[in-house]
Amino acid sequence: MRVGIVSWKDEAACRGDDPKRWLGSDITLSMARLCWDCPVRPECLFEALQREDKCDPGIWGGTTELERRRIRQDRSVLRKVWVELGREVA
């Protein structure tokens, strides 16, 4: 039995996968399936969207860097994502 705080990353479907696979700018069908079935996809996407430096290469929460950039640029889309993730709307 594990004791202590468990990070959402410990529950990620991609845990144990080769991290280099997730650093590219393209998402494959197998990666998309893994992300969309992941129990912590919302937490993953939320963390990526919260990064202050806005430099989050790779695939996070089933999205590419370009998709996250577009989400951040369009406040209405960002608000919809926040609602979907169950977060406070900024």
pLDDT tens sequence across 43-69:
898 888 887 666 668 899 998 888 888
Per the domain annotation, does 16 fall within a domain?
yes
Q: Note the pLDDT of residue 38.
A: 93
How far is Cα 83 from Cα 4, in angstroms, rounded to an integer? 29
**Overall number of domains in the chain:** 1
| 67 CB burial (10 A radius; 0-12, 13-18, 19+) | middle
Residue with tokens 């989400």: 71
Tell me which residue range forms the domain holding 53: 8-85
Stretch 70-88: mean pLDDT, rounded? 76
Per the domain annotation, does 15 fall within a domain?
yes
Q: Note the pLDDT of residue 4.
A: 54
Per the domain annotation, does 23 fall within a domain?
yes
Per the domain annotation, does 28 fall within a domain?
yes
Q: Is 55 helix (H, G, I), strand (E, B) or coil?
A: coil
Query: Which one is predicted more confidently, 31 or 52?
Result: 31
Per the domain annotation, does 13 fall within a domain?
yes
Flag whether pLDDT at 81 surpasses 70.
yes
